[in-house]
Amino acid sequence: MIFPCIDLMDGKVVQLVQGREKALEADSPEEMLRRFAAFPEIQVIDLDAAMGRGSNDGLVRMLASKAAIRAGGGVRSAARARVLVEQGARKVIAGTAAFTVDGINEPLLAELRDAIGRERLLVAVDSKDGRIVVKGWREATALSAESVLRALEPYCSGFLCTYVDKEGMLQGTDLDWFRRLRAATSLELTAAGGITTLDDVRALLDMGVHAALGMAIYTGRIPLAELAALQPKG
């Protein structure tokens, strides 16, 4: 599948470069929903919640009421995960809280799984310079993505893996990294970060990996109509 991304900050749709510098503000969330109507599911990330400086709960609720979404940002407790499901999210993405400095946070992951069900939980395994990064990609752990996917499988139904090195830079992604991740787990795998061309998308879909796109859509680098034509049927 192909997932267009709506990232929320200060009540607006934005795109950041490597999770830090705001590169652009897009049209309203409602307008982006209209543009993304050809896609069966949308990825929504509340950046304010992820960075621990507030939330965009009202917008998340509105988006979930009008489209099928997978939602993340600030999922640090079972209560937060339940709120996102109650708001209408089909799946919930947990990132920072899933990890400790040197391992995975099994007690919290078990709480999240038990609160909303394993089938609804996705874990964000985002990497920069070969290591998993957390807290808005500002802190690195000692872990590599390949080393933890198997251990995370009992808690979730899939993974969102962002290649942070090229996130938002429109310089291409690391297809070899995604091939290694694909070989490391049998669960659903969604790629993000640096996906710049239709060839990137095709390569990911061919290896059985979903694609989540932001900057390439918002800048017009990949036309939505051509992207929608690649969306697997059924």
Share of the chain above pLDDT 70, in %: 99
The Cα–Cα gap between 221 and 217 comes to 6
| Predicted local confidence at residue 196, as pLDDT | 94
- Over residues 120-130, the pLDDT tens digits come to 999 999 999 88
The low-confidence residues of the chain, meaning pLDDT below 70, are 168-169, 234
| Predicted local confidence at residue 200, as pLDDT | 96
Domains identified in the chain and CATH numbers: 2-229 (3.20.20.70)
| Predicted local confidence at residue 234, as pLDDT | 64
The Cα–Cα gap between 45 and 222 comes to 21
DSSP letters of 152-209? HGGG-SEEEEEBGGGTTS-S---HHHHHHHHHH-SSEEEEESS--SHHHHHHHHHTT-
- Catalytic center residues: 7, 126
3-state secondary structure 55-97: CCHHHHHHHHHHCCEEEECCCCCHHHHHHHHHHCCCEEEECHH
| Predicted local confidence at residue 100, as pLDDT | 87
77 half-sphere exposure, CB direction, 13 A CA radius: 5
| Predicted local confidence at residue 136, as pLDDT | 72
The Cα–Cα gap between 176 and 59 comes to 36
Letter string b/e over residues 52-63, b meaning 16 or more CB atoms within 10 A of that residue's CB:
eeebbbebbbbb
Tokens 């209408």 belong to: 88
Read off the pTM: 0.93
| Ramachandran angles phi, psi of 176, nearest 5° | -65, -40
| Predicted local confidence at residue 82, as pLDDT | 95
